[in-house]
Amino acid sequence: MDRFAERRFDDFRRALDDGQRIDISLHDRNEILFSPVFDHLSPSLSRWIADARGRILATDQDAGLAGKTWRALLDRADRRVLLKAAIAEEQPQPLTVRLPGTDGQRRWCLVRMRRMTSADGLVRYYGTLEDVHDRHDSQARALERALAESREHYRWSVELSPQVPWTAAPDGAIEEVGPRWLNLTGMVAKKALGTGWLVALHPDDLPRTITIWTKHLASGAPIDIDYRIRLRDGGYRWMRARAAARRDEQGQIVRWYGTLEDVHAQKLALRALADSEERSRLAVQAARLGIWDFDVATGERRWSAEFRAMLGLSEDQPATSELALSIVHPDDRETLRVMLDAVASGAVPPHFEATLRVHRASDGALRWIRSSGWTTRSESGRAQRVIVTFLDVTDQRDAEDRIRWAATHDPMTRLPNRALWQATLDDMAERQGQTGKRFGLLLLDIDDLKRTNDSLGHDAGDALLCAFAGRLAAIAPPDALLGRLGGDEFGLIAPSLTDGAALEAWSAKLIESLRTPHVHNGRSIDCGVSIGGAVFGDHGDRAEDLLKAADLALYASKAAGRGRLTLFHSDLRAQAQQRSSMIGMARSIIADRLVTPYYQPKVDLRNGQVLGYEALLRWHHPRLGLQLPGSIAAGFEHAEIAVALTEQMLDNVLRDVRGWLQAGHDPGRVAINASAADFARGDFADRVLEQLALFAVPPEHLEIEVTEIVFLGRGAGQVERALQHFSEAGVRVALDDFGTGFASLSHLKQYPVDILKIDRSFVSNIEEDAGDAAIVDAIVKLGGSFGMDVVAEGVESAAQADRLLAHGCIIGQGFHLGRPQPCAAITPPLAK
């Protein structure tokens, strides 16, 4: 026995003594086995055996259990648990029950047992009993503390939570409601029980809430609903009620658990967002925008209904790149392909724009589509989403094209206007200047268009313009650009006309085509053209120089008699410089008031009596002395200068006439020449009559001489009114150079002409040329038939005077009868 004990504790001995031998006495061994001290360090463990009825048959300790039954030892609840476990299983799980101790107090004990059946069929229960009272009390107290903490945690969670918890019976009647209900609504929780909470709902939300709540009570499905409740202050706030049902093992609803959450801010934000989205949607619809939404991460594309309608696509056609490329105009496909590749790779810029042409899938119509795209990116800079708006701008582009066309074309002839033609000339000159190639330029002016307007009306003139433009376009070289530069002037630029010979050949062809008259409203209208030509590289290396050269050539064609082509040559530039010098000189004369009238008498050929004078313009050059008007001839073609010269002549003539009258001399009628530019101002007659009154010169001492050209301009109506005004005031009107222009008998009848002046070209050959003599004779008789005086100009000899008298012309003017002289050299006869 001792040897067994020694072997039993060898390991223990070695562990305590690091291999050293420990002598243990018999007393110590008994203490280890039987000392009651160990009962205080761990619960005591006793063994027991019970029969089938639960009577304790034997125990290994005298704990007062032997002979007693489970019924006697256990209270009702513990007995029921123990019996149920003993019957249910052969070796049930350990059970905790209360048993009476030696002091009579019940203590918590842990029971373990196993049911055994012997060979003779007797049932026995073998078990152990462990006192766990102290441990159980500690666990119970810990559990109680945990439960208290849980209750406190729940209370604080409820009180501090922004939500209002509530529970309801299976029929929906509210059973409990959190304390925040009172804080929110001012309604005590008791009044909210049952269906009392419905009183707090907004009237507009009540029917909907009841309907939904009733439906979910029937189905048992979780509920999630928004409604407004009335607050303590009378206002309303949006709340979100959510609830779910707890069910028992049979699936029957035991209770509803729910929360009420304040979602007012979220509701308003969502409503604002919805309103914003609705406004955006309406704005998109109003603006007729199509939307293409591309998710870079997923590759998903969404096309709006407006965009599909724009492209003529149905709703069931997939939004693919291939479909988009198939309907884009071939010339624009590469642009779209680059855009799509950039979008797919995430390399698209933050904002991009493009305008593409598409053939609408439904009808093939060509439409212009303008796109604007925006890209959203993550914080790392990676593209996330691309939104592209599309707008059909076909109508806008058509309108812009029409506006652009109208801004660059003449609406009557439909040819390019001066702006477009000039821009093309500039581009061609720059391009050809770099290559050294030549091209021709022609300026064309329709001859006598004003006469057509005045004689047949502006409708006829406009028809002639259009007909000329048509013929011009019909024979123009294929590479030519035509343009109407203004009024009756046209321009042509042609790279194929590279020298003077080519310009001459083409101009001859045009002139020949115009020999066929144009017919308008049954009337035949002749159309001549004056042309000025220049070649780039020969006559100018810049657009402005070439245009100036052609303009000088055109001026020369008009001056040479019209209906011809003049190619630029260096003399024309010299002539232009001379004209420019004349105009500059005329301006200086006006500024320095150098105009001086010289007076040539008009004489009665029968007796030599001076009947009046014609005031002729002269001016004094500071170095060269007295100058004739030919030295500033170009100035008379300039409207502003011509008017200023007339004004100075009128002032000086009226001053001289007043001086004569104050000296008692009678100058008769003094004639002063007026140009078309004078009448163009509209108030010419008024200004002349005001000057007469200012200088106190009676109107019968003034005569206005006009040439036939003033009857042919666009202002013929105001010329007629001015001449009528002169006639009514007593100022006589003389028609100068009669027979050399285009005046007709209708003009003599229409305008108040008092005097016809025979041009000197007919008088100079009256002795040798029977034709001139006949013209003189006809003019004299014509004047007599109209009751007009007839004055012959340029009488240079006595023989001419005699022949004039023989034809009935009694008034003459010329060097034979008197040279022009200044006022100081003339002494008119004294007034009678």
- Residue by residue, what is the 3-state secondary structure of 705-734? EEEHHHHCCCCHHHHHHHHHHHHHHCCEEE
Fold entry, domain 161-268: Beta-Lactamase (3.30.450)
The Cα–Cα gap between 325 and 309 comes to 17
Question: Phi and psi dihedrals of 683, rounded to 5?
Answer: -115, 25
Question: Is the pTM value of this prediction over 0.85?
Answer: no
Letter for the amino acid at 95? L
Indicate the length of the chain as a whole number.
832
Q: Note the CATH number of domain 409-568.
A: 3.30.70.270
Q: Residue 15 has which token pair? A: 């562990």
Q: Which residue has the tokens 């934000």?
A: 269
Q: Note the CATH number of domain 287-398.
A: 3.30.450.20
Q: Residue 388 has which token pair? A: 């592209």
The Cα–Cα gap between 716 and 707 comes to 13
Q: Which residue has the tokens 């040279």?
A: 819
* pLDDT for the residue numbered 534: 94
- DSSP structure class, residue 765: T
Fold entry, domain 586-825: TIM Barrel (3.20.20)
Q: Which residue has the tokens 């107290």?
A: 141
The distance from CA 166 to its chain's CA centroid, rounded to whole angstroms, is 59
Helices (H), 161-205: 180-185, 189-192
Residue ranges covered by each domain of the chain: 1-35, 40-152, 161-268, 287-398, 409-568, 586-825
Fold entry, domain 40-152: Beta-Lactamase (3.30.450)
- Residue by residue, what is the 3-state secondary structure of 461-489? HHHHHHHHHHHHHHHCCCCCEEEEEECCE
83-92: long-range pairs with CB below 8 Å, 24+ = 83/54, 86/54, 86/113, 86/115, 86/125, 89/115, 90/114, 90/115, 91/115
Q: Is 509 helix (H, G, I), strand (E, B) or coil?
A: helix
Q: Residue 818 has which token pair? A: 């008197």
Consecutive 10-residue runs of the chain (832 residues): their mean pLDDT? 42 44 52 53 72 86 74 86 87 88 80 88 87 76 73 59 84 90 89 92 94 93 93 91 92 92 84 68 63 76 81 82 84 83 71 83 86 74 77 82 87 92 93 90 88 78 89 92 92 94 92 85 83 92 92 88 86 82 89 93 94 93 87 85 92 95 93 89 90 94 88 72 92 84 67 90 90 91 90 93 93 94 87 58
Q: Give Dmax (Cα) for the chain.
A: 199
Other CB atoms within 10 Å distance of the CB of residue 625: 7
Query: Could you write out the DSSP letters of every residue in 199-231?
Result: GGB-TTTHHHHHHHHHHHHHH---EEEEEEEE-
Asked if the domains 161-268 and 287-398 are classified in one and the same CATH topology, the answer is yes
Other CB atoms within 10 Å distance of the CB of residue 392: 21
For residues 387 and 293, the answer to whether their CB atoms sit within 8 Å is yes
Residue 235: closest CA among 264, 274, 270: 264
Identify how many contiguous H helices and E strands the chain contains and give both numbers. 30, 31
* pLDDT for the residue numbered 631: 87
Q: Which residue has the tokens 């034979």?
A: 816
